[in-house]
Amino acid sequence: MAKNQKRTSSRKQKAPKVKNELIFGRVNYLWMLGGAILIVIGLALMTGGKMPSPEVWDDQLIYSFRRTVLAPIVILAGFVVEIFAVFKKPAI
């Protein structure tokens, strides 16, 4: 056997431990869930608007404050929360 060659031991070598860290922390996922809930609530606020009679057109049912102002604001707030959740630094 040459001087430069080392004998390999017969026991198995352990693989290096790899940390299975997630990209986001628990708090980030909770913020993401909150943002998704806000988006779903905003979409639910936009639903509806069936006319009671097919012969009558009622602008107040279709173009109400809830559907034209409130629902888009809630949806945008949900997206802002989602962006915050992605960029928030996870706690160590």
Q: Compare 92 and 54 and report the one with higher pLDDT.
A: 54
Q: How confident is the model at residue 19 (pLDDT cuts 50, 70, 90)?
A: confident
Query: Residue-wise over 50-76: b if at least 16 C-beta within 10 A, else e?
Result: eeeeeeeeeeeeeebeebeeebeebbe
Mean pLDDT across 13-18: 73
Asked whether the CA dihedral 18, 24, 29, 32 is positive or negative, the reply is negative
Greatest Cα pair distance, the chain, in angstroms, is 100
29 close to 86: Cβ distance less than 8 angstroms: no
